[in-house]
Chain A
Amino acid sequence: MNIQNVNVNHLVHAYKIAPWRIQRQWIGSAFGVLVALAMVATIYLDVTSKAAIAGREIQDLTASITISQQVSADLQTEYATLTSSSIMKQRALELGFRPVKSREVEYLVVAGYVEIEPDILSSAPLPQLSALSILPEYNESLLDWADEQIAMSSRELR
């Protein structure tokens, strides 16, 4: 029993002091650090590229909005020109209409008729961009993301 224990201890000791084992430990540790750095770099690159693409899309969309607004204003003005007072009058005359005289107008008293009020002239509400409308992925840093993930995990554990 004692002889066996001595042999085992000897082997363990021999294993512990073996020079190749220490080298492997160092290599393993260095490799582990390298892998960790590579992972961080990969994630960082991924998030950065996504953010860059999203940023470019925002710039493109902003430009599109500006162009659409310009086109809309142009069309509105063109429509107003085509329906201007002088053009509408000219078209009416060409279609055979003529201005009415006051004696030709007949007014009828209609019981219960309520004159329709003109629509309130009001433009549509403008879209309100707010910080909440942009996903956090597009403006948070890697540290923010990691922080959020940790916070989320801890919330789930609780």
Chain B
Amino acid sequence: MRQQYARRTQVLTFVMGLIAFAIIVQMTRIQNSAEAAIFRQQASNYAYELRTFYPDRGEIYDRNGHLLAGNKSIYEIGVDLTTVKDPNAIATAVSVELGIDFAKILDAIQNPPEGLSYVVIADFIEAKQAMTLQELKKTLEEQAPEGVRGPLTGLEFKSHPQRSYPENALASNIIGFVNREGRGYFGVEEKYNTLLAGNPVQVLVPTDPNKASEIIRVPDGTTLVLSINRDLQAAAEQILDESLITYEAQGGTIVIMDPRNGELLAMAVTPRMDLNQFWNYGSIYNRANEFNPAVSMPYEPGSVIKILTMAAALDSGAVIPGTTYLDTGSILVGGATIQNWNQEPWGVQDMTGCLQHSLNVCMATLSTQMGAGTFYSYMDNFGFGHLTGVDIAGEAAGRLKLPGDADWYPVDLGTNSFGQGLTATPIQVMMAASSVANHGRTVTPHALYAMVRDGRQYNVPAQFAGSPISAQTADMLSGMLAVSLEAEDSLALVPGYRIAGKTGTAQIPVDGYYDSTQTNASFIGWGPIDDPQFMIYVWLERPATSIWGSETAAPVFGEMAEKTIILLDIPPDTIRQQLVAK
């Protein structure tokens, strides 16, 4: 009996052992089969996900902390084809909410390209519309019977950031825009694109929670603080728009800069563009340089250049303010006759009178007296023909022909002295004139006030581009310009403040000849002259009510200067002098 049990036990043990062995063999076989290798490969494909973390694009603020460019969430709406339940319901909901063709959506869901498990129905959808659809999906899911999926199952929402410009068209020429691919165009968006965009980081993220590791922190793009004053910019744009109507001008530019450090406070141009609708760019502008004429469109500035000719003459010692000459109304330079703006003689004039009456003959006399070498050396030092280095994309250098150039003629020495025959952008003229306003030191204009990165602010220091004239010459010339404006009772003057400035009226070349009926009217001025805190440049293209800068650009300057004084809290000269005295 005992032996019988022992035998049974042995048989049972053997059978159990055999079964266990068979299980182990089968396990081993399955583990090492070809199918297992495929499954392992498939599993490893899903074990890690290569994710690219794009940093949020840095914001752009004005100097007082007003947001000029930020980011907002928009949505991509798609359908997960593996979970979709009712394509008709999805097509109906999306077409009603987003206004997309029903048949098109239905076709995209029912006839997707081979191998796709997710199709995009719409992208760049505003958050409000996406939220409405999300709410509808949720409501329908709640209303569905227990255990039954809602009819919008499969409708998916993926948010991603997009550039947003709260001020719409304000300062559009300075800011530029970012397209849907995230690349900056024009303005500081293009100039500082790399800084603003930051560096995307690619990371292998494990899908297995057991392998969850610390996710790398992607620093946001650098935030920029511009030197622009939003309220001053808005005022400049309003004044410019009104002046185009008042003087029936075809276009215009107003630039305001702090001549002490080159900070651009405002830069208004026409036309402007709502940056939130950047796709309208092609219908607004014909050429890229129209986006910001203040830095991209060189033109013959005319008599505003007389400031610099006089600066060169005074600094080189060719003349002093009291030097007189007899104006006969014309002068022969390089075989061509140069006349005054009114083609009349002005008799004996001193240098202040030259500026006051804007005499071409006087300026041609000065340039020929200095000689081409001295005159062009000063013009070169003032920066004509060179880029200013302003940190706004698309800057053009203008053209200053020099002796030795194939297209330079001796008459150019005469015409260049009063701003014809050379081209410059408003920002170039301002940079050159800053040496007069800033006691002989030329400032480099810039729009960037500071950068904020990783919680730290880095202020941009003022940059000086040289000292083409002495401080004595600069202060002397500022005084002469102020006197000339006061003697003319210029429309540019602001009561209570001493302003220095000069008008410019430049005929526009048409078919190779200057057309006396079409002009560019300009004015450049700064103040208060004992402590200049603003420099304003006004350029009106082809004003129709009057061709003269003194009757169009000068009053626009006066209006802009008054607004600037209020917004920058600059007390009248008498009050400031009391403060200085204390």
Contact = CB atoms under 8 A, between A and B. Distances in A.
Interface of A: 48, 51-56, 58-59, 62, 69-71, 73-74, 76-81, 83-86, 89, 100-103, 105, 107, 109, 111, 118-126, 128-129, 131, 134, 139
B167 interface: yes
Given A77-B164, A121-B225, A102 B214 contact: no
A32 to B, nearest CB: 22
A102 B575 CA distance: 14
A77 B67 contact: yes
Interface stretch (B8-16, B192-200, B382-390, B448-456): B448-456
B170 A86 contact: yes
A81 B166 contact: yes
A69 B63 CA distance: 24
7 contacts: A52-B209, A55-B209, A55-B210, A58-B214, A73-B70, A122-B452, A122-B456
Contact of A59 (B73, B212, B225): B212
Contact of A85 (B230, B494, B578): B230
A85 B71 contact: no
Nearest to B450: A121
Given A100-B566, A129-B214, A80 B234 contact: no
B213 interface: yes
Given A69-B56, A89-B234, A109-B582, A58 B456 contact: no
Nearest to B212: A55
Nearest to B454: A126
A134 B208 CA distance: 18
Contacts of B403: none
Contact of A76 (B64, B67, B575): B67
B159 interface: yes
Contact of B223 (A56, A84, A123): A123
Given A55-B212, A85-B234, A121-B65, A73 B167 contact: no
A39 to B, nearest CB: 21
A84 B214 contact: no
Given A73-B56, A134-B214, A109 B575 contact: yes
B253 to A, nearest CB: 19
Interface residues of B, number: 53
A102 B209 contact: no
Give the interface centre of B61, B164, B578 by most chain A CB atoms within 10 Å: B164
B490 interface: no
Given A73-B71, A86-B170, A86-B234, 5 more contacts: A85-B231, A102-B495, A109-B579, A123-B223, A123-B452
A111 B582 contact: yes
Nearest to A105: B566
A72 B371 CA distance: 64
Contacts of A129: 214, 217
B575 A107 contact: yes
Contacts of A125: 454-455
B457 A121 contact: yes
A132 to B, nearest CB: 11
Contacts of B159: 70
B72 interface: yes
B271 interface: no
Give the interface centre of A58, A81, A85, A139 by most chain B CB atoms within 10 Å: A85
A79 B70 CA distance: 11
B59 to A, nearest CB: 8
Contacts of B579: 109
B127 interface: yes
Interface string B433-462: 000000000000000001010111100000
B169 to A, nearest CB: 9
Interface string B485-498: 00000000011100
A126 to B, nearest CB: 6
A76 B166 CA distance: 10
Given A73-B71, A74-B72, A123-B455, A80 B562 contact: no
B571 interface: yes
Interface in B395-427: none
A52 B210 contact: yes
Contacts of A51: 209-210
B211 interface: yes
B572 interface: yes
Given A86-B170, A107-B571, A125-B454, A102 B72 contact: no
B349 interface: no
A70 B71 CA distance: 8
A80 B219 CA distance: 23
Contacts of B71: 73, 77
A114 to B, nearest CB: 12
B116 interface: no
B450 A107 contact: no
A105 B575 CA distance: 12
A62 B63 CA distance: 33
Contacts of B56: 69, 73
Nearest to B160: A70
Contacts of B233: 85
B210 to A, nearest CB: 5
A102 B452 contact: no
B494 A102 contact: yes
Contacts of A77: 67, 70-72, 164, 166
A90 to B, nearest CB: 12
Nearest to B238: A89
Given A74-B73, A123-B223, A103 B495 contact: yes
B215 interface: yes
Contacts of A54: 212
B205 to A, nearest CB: 9
Given A80-B166, A89-B234, A59 B209 contact: yes
B199 to A, nearest CB: 15
Contacts of A73: 56, 70-73, 161
Contact of A86 (B168, B213, B496, B565): B168
A118 B65 CA distance: 10
B66 interface: yes
A80 B69 CA distance: 9
A107 B212 CA distance: 64
B212 A56 contact: yes
A106 B233 CA distance: 24
A127 to B, nearest CB: 9
Given A85-B230, A109-B579, A80 B66 contact: yes
Interface string B570-582: 0110010011001
